[in-house]
């Protein structure tokens, strides 16, 4: 697992042992950042269910203004911090060891880009998506990584499912504000 481009290009990122965290594959990460490549500069990013932090770190490497990393696993939080140190991007990051729901319900910040990649079989994507939508800026983009058989709503709050991209058993669903 490495940073694709930007200020931390080619830096290898630390992963977590075991099967508790399912890092985004290089192919899927490249596709995500191809979709939003011209919308990252100067934006505020939320990496929910951060895991290793690779999506938020990629955004910071590509000149996002800031990234907030949320996870309820202490091992994941330590890995995110180590990866931010390794890439030299810690100054633009906020790393919080907390439950996603509690964070989003009390959040005062608006985000421009949000990455949602919750554990596939825990059934929390729809709730996380709805809460995230309430914390997005006017031109926000929400990118959800989910299992192929996961139902995703066409509309949530003021966001509409803009596009979906299939990669084996993984789907990337992109939500944008405005008309479907």
Q: What is the pTM of this model?
A: 0.94
On the question of pLDDT at 46 being above 80, the answer is: yes
On the question of pLDDT at 155 being above 90, the answer is: yes
Q: Is residue 2 part of a domain?
A: no
73-116 pLDDT tens trace: 999 999 999 999 999 999 999 999 999 999 999 999 999 999 99
In this structure, the strands spanning 159-167 and 136-147 are unpaired
Q: How confident is the model at residue 150 (pLDDT cuts 50, 70, 90)?
A: confident
Domain interval for residue 74 = 26-177
Q: Is residue 20 part of a domain?
A: no
How many structural domains comprise the chain? 1
Q: Is residue 1 part of a domain?
A: no
Q: Report pLDDT for 140.
A: 95
Q: Are 23 and 53 in contact (CB under 8 A)?
A: no
Closest-CA residue to 140 (of 119, 126, 124, 160): 160
Burial 161-175 (b: 16+ CB within 10 A, else e): bbeeeeeeebbbbbb
Q: Is residue 149 part of a domain?
A: yes
Torsion sign, CA atoms 168, 128, 143, 162: positive
Q: The domain spanning residue 127 has which CATH number?
A: 3.40.50.150
Q: Is residue 110 part of a domain?
A: yes
Q: Is residue 10 part of a domain?
A: no
């Amino acid at each position: 697992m490495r940073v694709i481009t930007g200020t931390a290009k080619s830096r290898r990122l630390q992963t977590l042992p075991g099967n508790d965290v399912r890092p985004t594959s290089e192919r899927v990460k490249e596709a995500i950042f191809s979709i939003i490549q011209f919308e990252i500069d100067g934006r505020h990013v939320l990496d929910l269910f951060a895991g290793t932090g690779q999506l938020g770190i990629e955004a910071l490497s590509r000149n996002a203004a800031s990234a907030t990393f949320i996870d309820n696993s202490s091992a994941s939080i330590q890995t995110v911090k180590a990866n931010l140190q390794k890439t030299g991007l810690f100054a633009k990051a906020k790393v919080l060891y907390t439950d996603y729901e509690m964070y989003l319900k009390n959040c005062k910040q608006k985000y421009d880009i949000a990455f949602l990649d919750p554990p596939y079989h825990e059934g929390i994507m729809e709730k996380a998506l709805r809460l995230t939508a309430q914390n997005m800026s006017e031109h926000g983009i929400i990118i959800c990584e989910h299992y192929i058989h996961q139902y995703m709503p066409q509309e949530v709050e003021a966001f509409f499912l803009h596009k979906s991209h299939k990669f084996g058993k993984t789907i990337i669903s992109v939500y944008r504000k405005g008309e479907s």
